[in-house]
């Protein structure tokens, strides 16, 4: 596996190389367009100066004159009509030149070797140390024709500049490679930390430590990752709590069913006791069956919209039906019911919403004192508000924030008498939220509770 670290370092080196090549090509274009002709003209002028000075003083010792010019940083090649040449200044590395060029200069022509394209990269040709890379001009020495080839000895003139330039480029390249090797670690380290953190999470350990102080994309990623780990931990805690709650809710009815059934099997109980035990077994098993139904509903609702089947129907009729279905319960407790249900059509899933109404109504009945009142009303405002109000035992303020939580039963000691699972309101809330609505409660201990469900018009 190629590590990110190696990739970044290699990418940097490739970038540095490609940009050097591009820079060379660009400077070549610049040289061809701007500098080549200028350079040629400059050297030609120097050649003319050398010749001109001699022509002004024809009595000069030409040999000594050219030797001093050569020692000033020029390479000179002087050829006579018999094509015999003499060198002055530093020797040429390459001495090749087409004799045709020499003849043409001897005849009075001019040779522009600087302008000739011999290298793919012309700019490197500047440094070509050869006779052909020079300017040639005719020189008359006491009636004899000579050809004078001149070239600045760049090695002598700007040798140290070349070394400096090469050093500058090389050292810059080296230092940047060293820096990239060191700094890439700084970039790659948080990614390695993230990988380690991911492995910890996979192993079920959500307590991860990460540097979330960086103000860049990697810092952002680390912050989001830390948040994700927290929410995964919350989910995992919730799941564990849920399983513990479910097991607990199943365990107690099973224990009593087992106990009572065993004493019937052992024939330890009197016939009256046996009858009571069988009734308890029947009650407990129906509680278990109700619980499993609720759990299935929750599981289905957690899959969200897939379970919604909306139709348009009369909400007031559905609420009236719910009151009829529960009539024997509120009649038995001697409660009076006050419905205020104007006609209204709603677009919702009737199978789901009826569970909300039945839960709220049975809760009101369950937590009402005999002789109390339950009022149920619809108010159509910006949305459709259904209010179910009782004059029952109410809910203490400290418990109110939790009553919609799964398995939450307010006042544990008391709720043992009300055989609930604590899932009803959680299911109701989920259903209302799936419909895009809200559920709210107002309650005062000892006075009664009021649940309001708001559903949007569709």
Indicate whether 431 belongs to the interface with ligand ADP (CB under 6 A). Answer: no
* CB contact at 8 A, 42 and 151: no
Stretch that binds ligand ADP, among 33-41, 80-88, 184-192, 388-396 (CB under 6 A): 388-396
According to CB under 6 A, which one of 408, 434, 438, 442 is a site residue for ligand ADP?
Answer: 408
Which residue of 420, 432, 439, 453 would you call a contact of ligand ADP, by CB under 6 A?
Answer: 420
Minimum distance, C-beta of residue 366 to ligand ADP, in the bound complex (Å): 6
Is 372 a binding residue for ligand ADP by CB under 6 A? The answer is no
Q: Which of 364, 356, 413 lies closest to 388 in space, CA to CA?
A: 364
Contact 367, 392 (CB under 8 A): yes
Among 449, 453, 454, 455, the residue binding ligand ADP under the rule CB under 6 A is: 449
Name residue 387's beta-bridge partners: 377, 452
For residue 363, state whether it binds ligand ADP (rule: CB under 6 A). yes
CB of 262 to ligand ADP, least distance (A): 28
- Assess contact for 74 and 151: CB atoms under 8 A: yes
Q: Tell me how far apart the alpha carbons of residues 109 and 106 are, in angstroms, rounded to a whole number.
A: 7
Contacting residue, 136, 152, 253, 424, with ligand ADP by CB under 6 A: 424
* Contact pattern for ligand ADP over residues 279 through 308, marking x by CB under 6 A: ------------------------------
- Note whether 79 and 133 are within 8 A (CB): no
393 touches ligand ADP by CB under 6 A: yes
CB of 402 to ligand ADP, least distance (A): 8
Please, which residues bridge with residue 266 across strands? Answer: none
User: Total binding residues for ligand ADP by CB under 6 A?
Assistant: 23
- Per-position x/- string for 219-258, each x denoting binding to ligand ADP as judged by CB under 6 A, each - no binding: ----------------------------------------
User: Which residue's CB is nearer to ligand ADP, number 76 or number 403?
Assistant: 403
* Whether the Cβ atoms of residue 434 and residue 456 lie closer than 8 Å to each other: no
Options 69, 346, 410, 431; binder of ligand ADP; rule CB under 6 A: 410
Q: How far is the CB of 294 from ligand ADP (least distance, A)?
A: 8
- Position among 422, 435, 454, 455 found at the interface with ligand ADP (CB under 6 A): 422
Long-range pairs for 288-292: beta carbons < 8 A, 24 or more residues apart: 288/250, 288/253, 288/254, 290/421, 291/249, 291/250, 291/421, 291/423
190 touches ligand ADP (CB under 6 A): no
Q: Which of 210, 421, 431, 432 binds ligand ADP (CB under 6 A)?
A: 421
Burial class (CB in 10 A: 0-12, 13-18, 19+), 357: buried
User: By CB under 6 A, is residue 367 in contact with ligand ADP?
Assistant: yes
Q: Please, are residues 434 and 305 in contact by the beta-carbon 8 Å criterion? A: yes
Instruction: Give start and end residues of each alpha helix (H) in 31-121.
Output: 36-56, 62-71, 99-106
Q: Of 245, 238, 248, 235, nearest to 408 (Cα)?
A: 245
d(CA 402, CA 340): 29
Asked if 12 and 180 count as a contact pair (C-beta separation under 8 A), the reply is: yes
Query: Of the candidates 359, 387, 431, 454, which one interacts with ligand ADP according to CB under 6 A?
Result: 359
36 near ligand ADP (CB under 6 A)? no
Output the furthest CA–CA distance in the chain (Å, rounded): 155
Nearer to ligand ADP, 101 or 430 (CB): 430
Contacts of 367 (CB under 8 A, 6+ apart): 390, 392, 393, 394, 418, 449
Q: Which residue is nearest to ligand ADP (CB)?
A: 420
Which position among 130, 176, 329, 415 is part of the footprint of ligand ADP (CB under 6 A)? 415
138 contacts 106 by C-beta, under 8 angstroms: yes
- What's the angle, vertex CA 250, arms to CA 249 and CA 255, rounded to 5? 110
Contact flag: residue 392 with ligand ADP (CB under 6 A): yes
Element (H, E) at 146: strand 144-152
Site string for ligand ADP, 315-354 (x = CB under 6 A): ----------------------------------------
Residue 125 or 420 having the CB closest to ligand ADP: 420
List contacts with ligand ADP (CB under 6 A): 359, 363-364, 367, 390, 392-395, 403, 408-411, 415, 420-426, 449
């Amino acid at each position: 596996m190629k590590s990110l670290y190696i990739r970044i370092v290699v990418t940097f080196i490739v970038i540095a190389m490609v940009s050097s090549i591009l820079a060379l090509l660009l400077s070549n274009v610049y040289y061809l367009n701007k500098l080549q002709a200028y350079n040629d003209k400059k050297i030609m002028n120097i050649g003319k100066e050398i010749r001109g000075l001699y022509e002004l003083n024809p009595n000069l010792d030409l040999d000594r004159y050219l030797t001093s010019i050569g020692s000033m940083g020029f390479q000179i090649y002087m050829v006579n009509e018999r094509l015999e040449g003499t060198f002055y200044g530093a020797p040429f590395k390459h001495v090749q030149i087409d004799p045709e060029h020499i003849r043409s200069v001897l005849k009075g022509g001019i040779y522009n070797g600087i302008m000739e394209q011999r290298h793919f990269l012309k700019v490197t040709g500047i440094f070509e140390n050869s006779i052909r890379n020079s300017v040639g001009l005719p020189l008359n020495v006491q009636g004899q024709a000579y050809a004078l080839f001149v070239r600045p000895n760049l090695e002598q003139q700007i040798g140290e500049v070349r070394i400096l330039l090469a050093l500058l480029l090389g050292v810059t390249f080296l230092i940047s490679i060293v820096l990239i090797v060191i700094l890439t670690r700084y970039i790659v380290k948080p990614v390695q930390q993230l990988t380690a953190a991911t492995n910890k999470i996979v192993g079920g350990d959500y307590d991860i430590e990460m540097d979330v102080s960086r103000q860049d994309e990697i810092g952002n990623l680390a912050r989001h990752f830390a948040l994700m780990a927290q929410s995964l931990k919350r989910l995992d805690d919730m799941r564990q709590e849920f399983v513990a709650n479910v097991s607990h809710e199943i365990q107690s009815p099973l224990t009593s069913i087992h106990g009572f059934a065993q004493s019937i099997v052992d024939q330890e109980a009197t016939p009256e006791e046996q009858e009571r035990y069988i009734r308890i077994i029947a009650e407990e098993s129906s509680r278990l069956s109700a619980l499993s139904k609720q759990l299935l509903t929750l599981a289905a609702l957690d899959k969200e919209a897939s379970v919604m089947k909306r139709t348009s129907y009369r909400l007031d009729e559905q609420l009236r039906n719910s009151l009829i279905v529960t009539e024997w319960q509120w009649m038995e407790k001697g409660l009076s019911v006050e419905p205020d249900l104007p006609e209204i059509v709603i677009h919702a899933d009737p199978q789901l919403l009826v569970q909300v109404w039945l839960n709220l109504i049975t809760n009101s009945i369950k937590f009402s004192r005999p002789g109390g009142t339950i009022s149920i009303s619809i108010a159509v405002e910006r949305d459709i508000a259904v209010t179910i109000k009782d004059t029952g035992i109410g809910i203490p303020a400290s418990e109110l924030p939790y009553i919609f939580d799964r398995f939450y039963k307010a006042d544990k000691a008391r709720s043992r008498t009300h055989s609930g699972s604590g899932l009803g309101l959680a299911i109701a809330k989920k259903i209302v939220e799936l419909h895009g609505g809200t559920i709210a409660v107002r309650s005062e201990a000892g006075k009664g509770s009021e649940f309001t469900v708001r559903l949007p018009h569709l």
